Amino acid sequence: MAKGGSSLEIGFDVSELSRSLSKLTENITKAADVAVKNAAHSLLADSTPYVPVLTGALKDSGEVVRNGPGDYILSWSAKSSSGFDYSQRQYNEVFQHVDGIFAARWVDRAQEANPGKYVGEIARVLSLAIARSGV
């Protein structure tokens, strides 16, 4: 500072902003987990009509499995009378009882039939969470 000059100090208390941003992050993280879970259940429901049916065991075995926050997978597990889990092979190949809309890669079929639906569901939930946060 030059001799005979003046100085001005300006300070800001950002603790409230920091708390608000922390709360926003927490709310969005929770909302994202719920949004992805809901989208996974919606995708499971939309996929089910495409699952091949002989006894119904494969179709009935579909479930949403949580691997961690915001990380969900769809899973099917059905075994033949000999104990062979045929769900993976059936998903990739559809080696029997194919008719109507039943097809291999039934999750892909559901996504193709509903373009943007699941991402849109997640985006809507996150938008609401942000709007409700008041930040």
Q: Which of 129, 123, 109, 102 is nearest to 43 (CA)?
A: 109
Q: How far apart are CA 134 and CA 114, in angstroms?
A: 32
Q: What does each of the 135 residues of the chain score in pLDDT, given as a tens digit?
A: 556 678 888 877 778 888 888 888 888 999 999 999 999 999 999 999 988 887 888 999 999 999 998 999 999 998 888 888 888 888 887 665 555 677 788 899 999 999 999 999 999 999 998 888 766
What's the predicted TM-score (pTM) here? Answer: 0.79
